Structure 1
Amino acid sequence: MIMTQTTTTVSKQVIKMIVAAALMGFAGIMSETAMNVTFPKLSQIFEVSMETLAWVTTIYLLMVAIMMTLSAYLRRRFSERQLFLASVSIFVLGTLVGGTAQTFAIFFLTLLLVAVSFFLGITSFEKKEPIDKTAKLDVWQFLLLASALTTSLVVVSELETGQLNVPVLLAFVVSLGLFIWKSLTSKREFLNIRLFAKPVFLLAIIPFVLLQFANIGGNYLIPNYLQLGFGVSSILAGFALLPGSLFAALLNPWFGKLYDERGAKLPLYLGNLLFTISLLVMCLLAHSLGMVLLTIIYVVFSFGRVMAFGNIQTTTIAHLKKEDGPHALALFQMMNQYGGSIGTAVVALISSGQADIKDAFQQTNLLFFSFGLVSFVLFFLMFRTKEYMTPSQTKE
């Protein structure tokens, strides 16, 4: 028996498109991280609380989450080239506005990345016709969901005052209820929320959100913890996140290969185990951690989180019907950003209730540790859904 092996070569054009998109994503993450690191200094300059400044990150992530709800429609209505050029233009405009502030010239540095991204994108994204120029957006579904996401964050953030904002809570309940009704009855496609009724999807997206909650919430708290708790400079506090983030990003392709070769159980269970252990250590040593030790622990945290986080979406879509894949992807993308925004809001809320940043750090990591334990249970149940128990499925 003669075995033949085929190899797939990725064209230079595709590589340029990937790099262009990656640079845009990195520019956004760098801007967000830079803001988190400077919060203690900005709090002194503008004489506002850290919790108030946290809204800068919260609103940024909220807006990304809201835009993600449009992803399915935008991909049908506009070409990739049109979407790329529009995103670059809007990003540049926002960066220029931010850079006009006297002390915010950190912003102009990101334009260098955007310039490279624009050059690669303009020479690689082809001029193609949209999939469906006649596609129409269900504006009411979009507005109702945007209202529900926004009001939910306002309710959480205002708990800092010790009182529940009942009018905003009612606005959240009404807008969410109307969105669900409209989504289930509308003939226009927006987001297929019926996927939440499928255990294989629900049991996956909850830990997915919890991991992102801990990631973004931790990225907000760690620089502030080092600066306020140990007197570390803002530059060094920012670098505490770099080794873990870089290490995990470089190993991300290996995590995908591990999934391809061993299935989903190993990366999900092992990744979540490392994630949970690192949080337990940070919780127990919250009052004595310094720059070096925290940086090392954060490497373990990032390694475990990315190993599990990156493969949850992959294995879930692989175990759904083909026609459900794009809808599942849109929901994962939306909940990814929303999980980050609610994570920042909750961590800011915890911090506001503690006079000592070290106590806030300990309580936050205790909360994140509980997320890890919950995720183990959800993964266990997910692997026992009918989609995973079917003999024909190869990715356990």
Structure 2
Amino acid sequence: MKKMNEQTVSSKTKYSIIALALFAFSGILSETSMNVTFPKLEEVFNVPLASIQWVTTAYLLAVSIVMPTSSYLYRRFRERPLFFAALLFFTVGDIVGMLSVNFSMLIVARLIQGVGTGIAVPLMFNIILARVPRSHVGAWMGLGGMIMSIAPAIGPTYGGLLIGNLGWRAIFAFILIVPVISFILGAKSIENSEKKSPAQLDFIAFVLMSLMLVSLLLTLNSLTAVHFEWAWLIVFVVSLVAFIYRALHSDKEFLDIRVFKNTAFTLSVIAYAIFQFSNIGANMIIPNFLQLSVGLTSALAGLSLLPGTLVGALSNHSIGSLYDNKGPKIGFWAGNSLYVLSLLLFVIFSKNLGLISVILIYILFTLGRSMGFLTSNTHGVTQVSREEQGSANAVFQTAQQFAASAGTVISSLIVTKTGNMMQGTQNVFILFLVLGLLNFVLFSRILSKQK
């Protein structure tokens, strides 16, 4: 591969980034578009909401397990094989999902899809960091993030329109268009690096972390059962202790957890996870609430999230510039204040909400969440050394995906235990409100530790 001019971005690099951003877009679209299908899937497969939510949770779990391996994969394998492997996983999973004849088959499909997305998203950012001149990195990170951020904006609307007119299988069918476009762009543009450094994956640490994440979600999920599964809790505790020991003593490559010694970084990750937990939980609960309690169609329920998510996506660049110019204080305090205010409104008026009121409050929710979310991520990564930033990014990516899985599980658990969709929705937002108030404490501590 020819050496890149220090101040220019080659056409192939541009198309490579766009190809991977489109792929990531299809992965996130697949995640968010399924949330609005839960009532229909409950009827089709005759399973309760507590089980149906695994359509999203299984997908996010697979992504969260694969993402920590991104540093190893990028050092061990060249870019084109990684790109084609990601496409293969996602496409196979999508086709299996479309053809699913039972609930178990659909869950397997979602796991396969998640592996593809878990490979593709970090690959896009690695290519940007490796091939884009430093003076242009921010712009291209912003472009990639912008394309990805549009997916949650249209996902529920896309899913709602299709399930209302063509059925839930059409969601999988039409998503395939995007990976095909990504394949055409990527096959022509993605180039291999001249050399890859040999890297040895700490497979034991990988297995322990995977077991830890899966057992934790199964522990949470067992709260819906008649008898709590103590065995899964024991497995989680044992695997957590074993993973920490292994990560601290192994000389093989996986995830350097020593970054957690930095208090500001650790608190930033917690705040970041809280925002994602609430965000995905709200994205799951609101469309279902509007269908089951308010009586709206799936198309209108999905549309309720579109304006707010578009506002959040389009504000990303401005939020980043605000951090560059003013530091983290405005993003922390103003963002979390808007976020908490929106949750307070959801709690107070949950029994009187309609489509318009949900749209307006969700715009406030998403704007505040985006400010706090992006500021926590950016500030957290800058608190560690440059050598530790690769592991720091991997921690944030994993926390994002796992918090999303937990948000879906806990939200559906609360609704299931409440036994009433309207009251259950109010209880979910009460939980989110408490977590939002906790963020004020976290931000105060973070700023006291600021470099």
Please say whether Structure 1 and Structure 2 have the same fold, judged by a TM-score greater than 0.5: yes
On the 8 A contact 2:16/2:190 being kept in 1, the answer is yes
Runs of 4 or more, structure 1, over 6 Å off, are none
Say if 2:38 is the partner of 1:42: no
Task: Work out whether residues 200 and 316 of structure 1, in 8 Å CA contact, stay in contact via their aligned partners in 2.
Answer: yes
In structure 2, the residue matched to 1:303 is 367
**Is the counterpart of residue 366 in structure 1 residue 423 in structure 2?**
no
TM-score (norm 2): 0.81
Q: Which digits, 9 at most, give the CA deviation of each residue in 1:65-110, with x for residues without a partner?
A: 0001211111111123322221112111111111224751320101
Letter in 2 for 1:328: A
Residue pair 2:199, 2:253 contacting (<8 A) in 1 also: no
Amino acid at match of 1:373: L
| 5+ residue gaps, structure 1 | 1-6, 391-396
Which segment drifts farther, 278-287 or 244-253? 244-253
What is the distance in 1 between the residues matched to 2:195 and 2:282?
A: 39
| Mapped contact 1:76–1:130 kept (Cα < 8 A) | no
Aligned-pair distance for 1:376?
1.0
C-alpha contact 2:87 2:179 (8 A) present in aligned 1? yes
Q: How many residues are aligned here?
A: 380
> Which residue does the alignment assign to 1:108?
173
Q: How far off its partner does 1:359 sit?
A: 0.6
Q: Secondary structure at the match of 2:342?
A: helix
Structure 1 stretch 191-200 or stretch 358-367: which is displaced more? 191-200
Distance 1:131 1:253 in 2: 33
Equivalent in the alignment of 1:175: 239
* Aligned equivalents of 2:333, 2:268: Cα separation in 1: 13
Matched AA of 1:82: P
Matching residue's letter, 1:182: R
1:138 to partner: Cα distance: 0.9
What percent identity do the matched residue pairs reach?
40
Q: C-alpha separation between the residues in 2 aligned to 1:39 and 1:257?
A: 38
TM-superposed deviation, 1:18: 2.6
The answer to whether the 8 A contact 1:136-1:188 is kept is yes
1:137 aligns with 2:201: yes
Equivalent residue letter for 1:156 = L
Confirm or deny that 1:232 pairs with 2:296. yes
Q: Partners in 1 of 2:257 and 2:308 — Cα distance?
A: 34
Matches within 5 A, 1:340-359: 340-359=404-423
1:54 is aligned to 53
Name the CA distance, whole Å, in 1 between partners of 2:302 and 2:7.
39
State whether structure 2 residue 9 is matched by structure 1 residue 15.
no
Do residues 322 (structure 1) and 321 (structure 2) align?
Answer: no
Alignment-derived partner of residue 3 in structure 1:
none
Contact in 2 for aligned 1:27/1:114 (Cα 8 Å): yes
Q: For 1:225-283, what per-residue CA distance to the aligned partner results, in whole angstroms no more than 9, with x for missing partners?
A: 00001111111111111111112111211111111111111112211111111111011
Partner of 1:91: 90
Amino acid corresponding to residue 122 of structure 1 in structure 2: A
Deviations 1:308-337 (A, max 9, x none): 211212112222111111110011111110
Evaluate the alpha carbon distance shift between residue 18 and residue 311 of structure 1 in structure 2; reply closer, same or farther with a 3 A threshold: farther
Distance in 2 (CA, whole Å) between partners of 1:229 and 1:14 is: 48
CA distance in 2, matches of 1:239, 1:130: 47
SS at match of 1:137: coil
Q: Which amino acid aligns with 2:269?
A: I
1:329-353 deviation per Cα after TM superposition (whole angstroms, max 9, x unaligned)? 0111111100000111111110101
Rounded to whole Å, the distance in 2 between the matches of 1:130 and 1:48 is 50
The corresponding residue for 2:377 is 313
User: Residue 244 of structure 1 contacts residue 303 of structure 1 at CA under 8 Å; is this kept in 2?
Assistant: yes
Establish whether residue 121 from structure 1 lines up as the match of residue 186 from structure 2.
yes
Matched, 1:242 2:311: no
Question: Partners in 2 of 1:202 and 1:127 — Cα distance?
Answer: 35
Higher helix share: 2
The CA distance in 2 between the partners of 1:282 and 1:335, in whole Å, is: 26
One-letter identity of the residue aligned with 2:268: A
For 2:173 and 2:44, locate their aligned partners in 1 and report how far apart those are by CA, in whole Å. Answer: 20
| Counterpart in the other structure of 1:4 | none
Which position in structure 2 is the counterpart of 1:393? none
Partner amino acid, structure 2, of 1:366 = I
Structure 2 counterpart of 1:31 = 30
Report the Cα offset of residue 115 of structure 1: 1.3
**121-130 vs 329-338, which moves further:** 121-130
Assess, with a 3 A threshold, how the Cα gap between structure 1 residues 311 and 17 changes in structure 2: closer, same or farther.
Answer: farther
**Shift of the alpha carbon at 1:8?**
5.8
User: Relative to structure 1, is the Cα distance of residues 270 and 182 closer, same or farther in structure 2, using a 3 angstrom cutoff?
Assistant: same
Partners of 2:437 and 2:271 in 1: how far apart?
Answer: 10
Among 314, 336, 344, the alignment partner of 1:272 is 336
> For residue 12 of structure 2, what is the amino acid of its counterpart?
Q
Does structure 1 retain, via aligned residues, the 8 Å contact 2:64–2:401? yes
Q: CA separation in 1, counterparts of 2:428 and 2:252?
A: 41
Query: Aligned-pair distance for 1:10?
Result: 4.5
Cα RMSD (Å): 1.6
TM-score, normalised relative to structure 1:
0.92
- SS across alignment from 1:187: coil
Aligned partners of 1:366 and 1:337: how far apart in 2?
Answer: 22
SS at match of 1:179: helix
Aligned mates of 2:425, 2:287 — CA distance in 1: 11
2:148 paired with 1:149 = no
Partner of 1:79: 78
Q: State whether residues 68 and 398 of structure 2, in contact with CA within 8 Å, keep that contact through their aligned partners in structure 1.
A: yes
Secondary structure of 2:47's aligned partner: coil
